[in-house]
Amino acid sequence: MPKDSRDTRYDILFEPIRIGPKVAKNRFYQVPHCNGGGYRDPSAVAEMRRTKAEGGWGVIFTEQTEIHPTSEITPFIEQHLWEDRDIPALARMADAMKSHGALAGVQLAYSGVNGPNLYSREVPLAVSGGPILTFTADPVQARTIDREDIRDIRRWFRNAVRRSQTAGFDLVCFYGAHGFGILQHFLSRATNQRTDEYGGSLENRARFLREIVEDAREETKGALAVTLRLSLHEAGAMGFSNAELRDFIEMHGDLPDLWDLAHGTWEQCSGTSRFKPEAAQEDLVRGIKALTTRPVVGVGRFTSADEMVRQVRSGVLDFIGAARPSIADPFLPRKIEEGRFDDIRECIGCNICVSGDMTGGISRCTQNTAFMEEWRKGWHPDRVRPKGVSETVLVVGAGPTGLEAAMQLGRRGYRVTLAEASSALGGRVARERRLPGLSAWGRVADYRTGQITPMPNVEIYLESALTPEDVLSLGCEHVAIATGAEWRRDAVARFHLAPIPTDPALPVYTPDDLMAGQGPTGGRVMLYDDDHFYMGSVLAEMLVARGCAVDFVTPAAIVADWTRNTLEQPTIQRRLLEIGVTLHLSRAPLSVGPDRAILACTYTGSESVLAADAVVMVTSRLPKDGLYHAVRALDWPGAGIRSVKLIGDAAAPGPIAWATYAGRRYAEELDEPDRGDALSFRREIAELLPHVPLTPA
Ligand code: ADP
Ligand code: SF4
């Protein structure tokens, strides 16, 4: 659709906006975001950013870029700009960002008291020394910087700015949000206890910021725009509060070319949809625009064009900042511009992308299966290669795996038959979306259903539980079996590798039972969680709402241990405590009797008795692969079938993102030549240097 046919309601989002010496073509601003690839996967990151350029973003940023080895946050994999040899990787990214007229920005970070330097082994340098403040509680302390150190850090920032300019960036952003950057450490009385001219009054605490902004302007002769990314509100009596931020902006409104504002900690800023709605930071940012002539950008997991317009029209924001919405749909701006609202793949707010960074893996996105595979596998968020030699594919099961497979196969041009046993599309997300706090997860099904329904080459059959004979008789050349998984009832997971003795007199339920509307509606319920992700705590909330007294038993030392990777763990534990759930940590049931469970401490083995009227086991899942094995046992080649594959949860149960990825992979690889033992993705290997002594600087 040409631009002049754009709905005029959204024109305001496409106005060019000046940022100091640069002009952004529109108000869509991809704020810095990590991706788990960083310096290890430079081309993968560059291609990922290119899709955002193609998708119409006006400004595109890198992830955190560490300016000096005295401050790095291993094990998290970000970017480095430590020496000139780091420039080419960043230049590749800047080129990709600018490929469709976006401005390219680099976020420069000096982590100070947040950087343990586990890789560089340098002594960490902090505004005020003390224990390193990280997610991993590293047993390391930082030294308090003196005036000479401050001069050094200013010079390192200046060097990084020069390298950024050489790499081709239009904007440099100094990082002082989320508690991660030294700018915030200077501003906050919690991390700045100095008594010299850099501590005490707000004017003093702001000195370093003024200096590095001035240095950057001088270094680039004003050619680059300079932005500040600051926390909207740091909690605690000594924290850099929203009121202080407002005072600071009032005093220094014209210091940067743009204010980029993000809530206090990363957990608060990137809350999941379970705990934070769209536009959750509005109260903290409203009114700040009046304090400055510079544009203001803020985030809020914005996926609704109407909400974006409201943010701008009501004077809250100038730019619509987005990290996760831009990951889930790099083409969000273009789809709004072209009026293709049904094609928008909305972020579901699950933070699986964040978990890629937290685990040192590479980030995935539940919704955008191409995320971080743009270069590694040549996948594109919205396009797939045309089909191969075959014509027809049967996909059995319409959960996230089957829906994604059917959608991508349909896009490739195959004739697809999608058979689903139940009366609804979506599989597990059709059920999980009804659980407390998980309604946004329904978007996984809604987007895919919306895409395949109009496709003439995809036929959908509901209430069609296929038998092995049905599969053979349907006459498709390829069969993908995506029949999902079911929760176990016997306590087997990580702690118990074999079933535990269970008295049939005590009712035992699984998450599937509860999602089907069964299970207790009162009395005392023991919920045993050896899954450690979201399901246990979500069901605990549901049981409390049903009137049950819930005893939450887990072998882990904290509830929902893995949700540390989705930044939810503290919120989940707080929520359970607040609603009256009793926690039994580092405990597992040894047996379940008629009215009780015998628990054992996972460290000492000491036993205790827990009275219970019912038990809910949130442990592990069994693949539903019976259909697959039954088909394989028949003469399927004789029926003209060329391949039968088991995919998604039916092969190996995992998070929803693993399921959508499996569907995409199946569709991408159909009719492709077998790669044998060759890697299924591209990767970069570090350049080997000759064995020569370290040269003087
Ligand atoms: P995944 O996450 O891998 O997509 P789900 O459990 O979400 O797995 O979805 C699997 C879907 O497969 C469910 O909707 C289920 O109803 C469907 N299904 C299971 N067995 C059959 C079958 N024999 N024929 C058709 N659909 C089936
Ligand atoms: Fe959104 Fe989840 Fe994708 Fe992250 S992984 S961008 S939170 S849908």
What are the residues whose beta carbons fall under 8 Å from the beta carbon of 497, sequence distance 6 or more?
none
The protein residue with its alpha carbon nearest to ligand 1, atom 14, reads: 427
| Residues within a 6 A CB radius of ligand 1 | 396-402, 419-422, 427-428, 464-466, 482-485, 624, 627, 648-650, 659
Closest CA to 110 of 146, 141, 140, 152: 152
Q: Domain for residue 682, yes or no?
A: no
Q: Domain for residue 320, yes or no?
A: yes
What are the residues whose beta carbons fall under 8 Å from the beta carbon of 137, sequence distance 6 or more?
none
Q: Which ligand is nearest to the Cα of residue 325, counting in written order?
A: 2
Cα separation, 535 vs 546, in Å, equals: 16
The protein residue with its alpha carbon nearest to ligand 2, atom 3, reads: 365
The protein residue with its alpha carbon nearest to ligand 2, atom 6, reads: 324
Last residue of a domain, one of 305, 339, 359: 359
Q: Which residues constitute the domain of residue 476?
A: 392-484+624-669
Same domain, 141 and 57: yes
The protein residue with its alpha carbon nearest to ligand 1, atom 17, reads: 397
Q: Is the CB of residue 308 less than 8 Å from the CB of residue 297?
A: no
Same domain, 467 and 594: no
Closest CA to 487 of 440, 531, 543: 531
* Neighbouring C-beta atoms of residue 9, cutoff 10 Å: 10
Residue 25 near ligand 2, beta carbon < 6 Å? no
Does an H or E element contain 156, and which?
Answer: helix 147-167
The token pair that represents 593 in the structure block:
């009797």
Cα separation, 492 vs 603, in Å, equals: 19
Residue of 299, 347, 432, 447 with the most ligand 2 atoms within 8 Å of its CB, for mutation: 347
The protein residue with its alpha carbon nearest to ligand 2, atom 5, reads: 365
Cα separation, 681 vs 144, in Å, equals: 45
Q: Domain for residue 687, yes or no?
A: no
Residue 93 near ligand 2, beta carbon < 6 Å? no
Same domain, 222 and 286: yes
Q: What is the CATH number of the domain that holds 165?
A: 3.20.20.70
Last residue of a domain, one of 565, 594, 621: 621
Task: Report the atom number in ligand 2 closest to the C-alpha of 348.
Answer: 8
pLDDT computed for residue 1 by the predictor: 46
- Going from the Cα of 424 to the center of ligand 1, the distance in angstroms, rounded, reads 11
Inter-CA distances, 394 with 123, 229, 466, 474, 475, Å = 59, 50, 11, 8, 9
As separate numbers, helices (DSSP H) first and strands (DSSP E) second, the chain gives 22, 29
Cα separation, 236 vs 191, in Å, equals: 11
Task: Report the atom number in ligand 1 closest to the C-alpha of 465.
Answer: 24
Q: What is the CATH number of the domain that holds 404?
A: 3.40.50.720
Does an H or E element contain 327, and which?
Answer: helix 324-328
Task: Report the atom number in ligand 1 closest to the C-alpha of 656.
Answer: 2
Q: Which ligand is nearest to the Cα of residue 649, counting in written order?
A: 1
Cα separation, 236 vs 135, in Å, equals: 18
Residue of 274, 324, 362, 534 with the most ligand 2 atoms within 8 Å of its CB, for mutation: 324
3-state SS string for 330-354 = CCHHHHHHCCCHHHCCCCCCCCHHH
Q: Is the CB of residue 420 less than 8 Å from the CB of residue 397?
A: yes
Closest CA to 333 of 55, 97, 105, 49: 55
What residue spans of 421-516 are helical by DSSP H?
428-432, 443-452, 468-473, 511-515
Residue 440 near ligand 2, beta carbon < 6 Å? no
Same domain, 645 and 588: no
The token pair that represents 679 in the structure block:
């890697």
Residue 429 near ligand 2, beta carbon < 6 Å? no
Q: Domain for residue 690, yes or no?
A: no
* Neighbouring C-beta atoms of residue 431, cutoff 10 Å: 19
The protein residue with its alpha carbon nearest to ligand 2, atom 1, reads: 347
Cα separation, 513 vs 98, in Å, equals: 51
Same domain, 156 and 281: yes
Same domain, 178 and 304: yes
Cα separation, 224 vs 219, in Å, equals: 9
Q: Domain for residue 696, yes or no?
A: no
Task: Report the atom number in ligand 1 closest to the C-alpha of 647.
Answer: 3
- Going from the Cα of 395 to the center of ligand 1, the distance in angstroms, rounded, reads 10
Cα separation, 561 vs 536, in Å, equals: 11
The token pair that represents 431 in the structure block:
């059920």
Residue 324 near ligand 2, beta carbon < 6 Å? yes
Task: Outline where DSSP puts E strands in 232-289.
Answer: 258-262
The b/e string for 641-668 (b: 16+ C-beta within 10 A; e otherwise) is beebbbbbbbbebebbbbbbbbbbbbbb
- Going from the Cα of 442 to the center of ligand 1, the distance in angstroms, rounded, reads 16
Residue 365 near ligand 2, beta carbon < 6 Å? yes
Q: Domain for residue 375, yes or no?
A: no
Q: Which ligand is nearest to the Cα of residue 403, counting in written order?
A: 1
The token pair that represents 445 in the structure block:
């099904």
Cα separation, 184 vs 186, in Å, equals: 5
Same domain, 13 and 85: yes
The mean pLDDT values, 10 residues at a time, for the chain of 697 residues are 74 98 98 96 98 98 98 96 97 98 98 96 97 91 98 98 98 92 95 97 97 98 97 91 94 95 84 90 94 95 95 97 97 97 97 95 97 98 96 98 98 98 98 97 98 98 98 97 98 97 96 97 97 98 98 98 97 98 98 96 98 98 98 98 98 98 98 94 92 79
What residue spans of 168-236 are helical by DSSP H?
182-187, 202-205, 207-220
Q: Which ligand is nearest to the Cα of residue 467, counting in written order?
A: 1
- Going from the Cα of 426 to the center of ligand 1, the distance in angstroms, rounded, reads 9
Same domain, 282 and 324: yes
What are the residues whose beta carbons fall under 8 Å from the beta carbon of 147, sequence distance 6 or more?
196
Residue 353 near ligand 2, beta carbon < 6 Å? yes
What are the residues whose beta carbons fall under 8 Å from the beta carbon of 384, sequence distance 6 or more?
408, 411, 412, 667, 668
- Going from the Cα of 540 to the center of ligand 1, the distance in angstroms, rounded, reads 25
Last residue of a domain, one of 359, 379, 412: 359
Q: Pairing mode, if any, of strands 319-322 and 296-298?
A: parallel
- Sign of the alpha-carbon dihedral angle for 319, 324, 330, 331: negative
- Going from the Cα of 427 to the center of ligand 1, the distance in angstroms, rounded, reads 6
The token pair that represents 121 in the structure block:
């082994």
pLDDT computed for residue 4 by the predictor: 57
Q: Which ligand is nearest to the Cα of residue 354, counting in written order?
A: 2
- Going from the Cα of 84 to the center of ligand 2, the distance in angstroms, rounded, reads 34
Three-state DSSP at 50 gives helix
Same domain, 71 and 159: yes
Cα separation, 82 vs 30, in Å, equals: 24
Q: Domain for residue 324, yes or no?
A: yes
- Going from the Cα of 657 to the center of ligand 2, the distance in angstroms, rounded, reads 9
Same domain, 465 and 553: no
* Neighbouring C-beta atoms of residue 43, cutoff 10 Å: 18
Same domain, 262 and 407: no
Q: Is the CB of residue 542 less than 8 Å from the CB of residue 514?
A: yes
The pTM is what?
0.96
Residue 366 near ligand 2, beta carbon < 6 Å? yes
Q: Which ligand is nearest to the Cα of residue 463, counting in written order?
A: 1
Cα separation, 281 vs 232, in Å, equals: 8
Residue of 369, 429, 449, 483 with the most ligand 1 atoms within 8 Å of its CB, for mutation: 483
Tally the domains of the chain. Answer: 3
| Cis peptide bond upstream of 75, omega within 30 | yes
Does an H or E element contain 313, and which?
Answer: helix 305-313
Same domain, 432 and 522: no
Q: Domain for residue 245, yes or no?
A: yes
Task: Report the atom number in ligand 1 closest to the C-alpha of 464.
Answer: 25
The token pair that represents 176 in the structure block:
């002082």
Phi, psi angles (nearest 5°) of residue 163: -65, -35
Does an H or E element contain 599, and which?
Answer: strand 596-601
Does an H or E element contain 460, and which?
Answer: strand 458-461
Residue 352 near ligand 2, beta carbon < 6 Å? yes
Q: What is the CATH number of the domain that holds 528?
A: 3.50.50.60
What are the residues whose beta carbons fall under 8 Å from the beta carbon of 133, sequence distance 6 or more?
113, 114, 179, 191
What are the residues whose beta carbons fall under 8 Å from the beta carbon of 371, sequence distance 6 or more?
35, 48, 327, 353, 363, 364, 365, 381
- Going from the Cα of 371 to the center of ligand 2, the distance in angstroms, rounded, reads 10
